[in-house]
């Protein structure tokens, strides 16, 4: 399957920073998910099938581990700045018999070292300016050193306005520089339909309908973009060898908060592959299927006891 405009979708990673900036203080509506200070996440997506010229069809499980921590740099009434180092490791675990024809994707060697620097500026009691940035080095670190992998970066700016106690709307722009400069619009919309239900939209990243089972139990029906890009050879040798994919996770997410300390979030659903260029020497046969995520998080100590968003 041919990949279209891969650099445009790399910016999805930084859109996660927009949601974290909203968590910093008082953008956000009652009933939204709690803010996450430290996050540990693991994802499994089984049943990926590729056809190899000399080996026929082979089956893999896409596995991923992720950790991130947010560190406060400045926290004032009208301005907040936070720093978020994060690390991701991914592999294709071989599930068929015989020799693995895609060994460079095993052993958790596909890694991302990244840093987010996000802030918000309180313009008045109902409006904010959200600023996010994301830089990373991502690739097969068993084949390449950090110096051999280019630095990618993304920056964005969005304006968010609370138009009523139960509605927020915003828009902005996002710039990504990887292979070339890419510019895309951002749209934010949060709306509480009732005390227990709400809509949360952050395009082009996520759309979700929320149902609050209790003050500590949240249920989400959502669709969320998942994108990955990894460098596989030295850029100095010519055109970079890059593996990449775009998926959309559609399913149900359950968030359980344990008091004021932390919680767990479980996701199960269907991962629809939009574009795939992960295994260069093979033809994708089945790249969509079931996906499950387990996430443990710790809430920010300074915000314990407050309504988090």
Pairwise CA distance, residues 273 & 2, whole Å: 12
Domain-located, residue 107:
yes
Pairwise CA distance, residues 251 & 170, whole Å: 25
Residue range 140-162, pLDDT digits in tens: 999 888 888 888 899 999 999 99
Q: List alpha helices for the chain, DSSP H.
A: 6-9, 12-24
> ∠ CA 247-248-250 to the nearest 5 degrees?
145
Q: What totals of helices (H) and strands (E) does the chain contain, helices first?
A: 2, 16
Residue 62 has pLDDT above 80, yes or no: yes
Give the CATH number for residue 140.
2.40.160.40
Number of separate domains in the chain:
1
Q: How far is CA 229 from CA 110, 247, 275, 278, in A?
A: 9, 12, 12, 9
Residue range 211-242, pLDDT digits in tens: 999 999 999 999 999 988 888 876 555 566 78
Whether the CB-CB separation of 90 and 63 falls below 8 Å is answered with: yes
Residue 59 has pLDDT above 50, yes or no: yes
Question: DSSP string of 217-232?
Answer: EEEEEEEEEEEEEEE-
Domain-located, residue 1:
no
Model confidence band, residue 177 (pLDDT cutoffs 50, 70, 90): confident
What is the model's pLDDT at position 233? Answer: 74
Domain-located, residue 195:
yes
Domain-located, residue 308:
no
Q: How far is CA 250 from CA 273, 288, 291, in A?
A: 11, 11, 9
Domain-located, residue 86:
yes
Q: Residue 216 is part of which domain span?
A: 6-303
What is the model's pLDDT at position 26? Answer: 64
Query: What's the whole-model pTM score?
Result: 0.85
Model confidence band, residue 263 (pLDDT cutoffs 50, 70, 90): very high
């Amino acid at each position: 399957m041919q990949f279209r405009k891969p650099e445009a979708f790399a910016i999805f990673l930084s859109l996660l920073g927009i949601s974290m900036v909203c968590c910093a203080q008082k953008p956000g509506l009652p009933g939204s998910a709690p803010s996450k200070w430290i996050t540990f996440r693991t994802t499994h997506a089984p049943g990926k099938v590729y056809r190899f010229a000399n080996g026929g069809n082979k089956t893999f499980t896409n596995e991923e581990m992720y950790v991130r921590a947010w560190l406060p740099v400045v926290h004032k009434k009208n301005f907040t700045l936070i720093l978020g180092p994060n690390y991701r490791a991914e592999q294709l675990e071989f599930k068929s018999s015989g020799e693995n024809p895609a060994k460079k994707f095993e052993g958790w060697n596909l890694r991302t070292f990244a840093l987010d620097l996000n802030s918000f500026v309180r313009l008045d009691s109902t409006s904010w300016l959200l600023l996010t940035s994301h830089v990373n080095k991502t690739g097969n670190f068993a084949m390449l050193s950090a110096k051999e992998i280019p630095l990618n970066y993304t920056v964005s700016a969005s304006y968010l306005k609370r138009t009523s106690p139960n509605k927020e709307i915003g828009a902005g722009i996002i710039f990504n520089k990887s292979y070339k400069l890419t510019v895309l619009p951002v749209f934010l919309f949060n709306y509480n339909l009732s005390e227990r239900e709400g809509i949360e939209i952050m395009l082009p990243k996520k759309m979700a309908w929320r149902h609050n089972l209790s003050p500590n139990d949240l249920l989400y029906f959502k669709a969320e973009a998942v994108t990955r890009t990894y460098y596989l050879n030295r850029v100095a040798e010519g055109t970079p060898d890059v593996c990449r994919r775009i998926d959309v996770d559609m399913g149900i997410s359950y968030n359980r908060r344990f008091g004021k300390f932390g919680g767990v979030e479980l996701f199960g659903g269907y991962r629809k592959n939009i574009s795939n260029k992960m295994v260069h020497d093979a033809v994708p046969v089945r790249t969509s299927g079931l996906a499950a995520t387990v996430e443990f998080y710790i809430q920010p100590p300074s915000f314990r006891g407050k309504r988090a968003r």
